[in-house]
Chains A and B, each alone.
Chain A
Amino acid sequence: KQEVTQIPAALSVPEGENLVLNCSFTDSAIYNLQWFRQDPGKGLTSLLLIQSSQREQTSGRLNASLDKSSGRSTLYIAASQPGDSATYLCAVSLPSSEKLVFGKGTKLTVNP
């Protein structure tokens, strides 16, 4: 059974700091991996999608990497801002399945 773990569960950093959020999964047979952002009381906003054949994706200050063999992904946020404060969710999709398996998220707080 695929399980996704995100560490740490919560993170508080000062504005301007570079930071890394971690996601690990137990079964390397994934179709792709997607990082989402969720603001309090809101829906999920897709940040980055990494196909299983890719190693990383970049969007602005965000960079996500994928290492299937070790079952790990990282989300790197450069020069963090208070507006980055949110919960970040990692999810993997499974081959021949429509199921997304989510981690429980990392709650990020960026202090001014």
Chain B
Amino acid sequence: NAGVTQTPKFQVLKTGQSMTLQCAQDMNHEYMSWYRQDPGMGLRLIHYSVGAGITDQGEVPNGYNVSRSTTEDFPLRLLSAAPSQTSVYFCASSYSTGGTYGYTFGSGTRLTVV
């Protein structure tokens, strides 16, 4: 039972480069979301999805795109990386709305933009 898998674990980008952070879950959860964690700021919601084909913005969506073509996968795309996007990114999934049965988090991707 893998749970929520994030790849890569570490990444260094140059300003202006693009990349995709991968997130996959094998628990058949409908709800998936992306958070970023910054020192002194806590975790903040970037984007979320309530099911395949449906996505919505969270608290800090600028500079990020998402899509949800399957139940299992929810990739996060950085179109043109900026130093302000240096952070640790976490993907989470939940079985039902509002996290009725709680949220499961991946192990994170540590991104540095230089």
Contact = CB atoms under 8 A, between A and B. Distances in A.
Contacts of B31: 98
A107 to B, nearest CB: 12
Interface residues of A, number: 26
Nearest to B4: A43
Interface string B27-65: 000010101000011111100101000001011000000
A86 to B, nearest CB: 14
A42 B41 CA distance: 17
A97 B58 CA distance: 10
Contact of B105 (A36, A96, A99, A104): A36
19 contacts: A31-B100, A32-B102, A41-B110, A42-B108, A44-B90, A46-B102, A51-B100, A93-B98, A93-B99, A96-B97, A98-B33, A98-B48, A98-B99, A100-B92, A102-B43, A102-B44, A103-B42, A104-B40, A105-B42
Interface of A: 31-32, 34, 36, 41-46, 49, 51, 89, 91, 93-100, 102-105
